[in-house]
Amino acid sequence: MSAGAFIEVVSEAQLHQRVQQLGAEITADYEGEEPVFVGVLKGSMVFLADLVRQVDLTAEVDFLALTRFGKEGRVNIAMDTEVSLAGRHVVVVEDIVDTGLTLTTLRRLLEARGVASVRTVALLDKATRRIVDVPIEYRGFEVGDEFLLGYGLDWSGTYRNLRSLWAVMDVAVLTGDPLAFAVTAYGSSARAADSGQ
Q: What is the pLDDT of residues 42-69, one digit of tens each?
A: 999 999 999 999 999 999 999 999 887 6
pLDDT at 3: 55
Tell me: domain 6-194, CATH 3.40.50.2020, correct?
yes
Q: What is the pLDDT of residues 35-49, one digit of tens each?
A: 999 999 999 999 999
Residues 1 and 166: their CA atoms lie apart, in Å, by 16
Cβ count near 171 (within 10 Å): 12
Three-state SS at 181? helix
- Catalytic residue set: 98
DSSP run (H or E) holding 189 = helix 189-194
pLDDT at 179: 80
Q: pTM for the full model?
A: 0.89
Strands lying side by side in the sheet with 147-149:
6-10, 165-168, 147-149
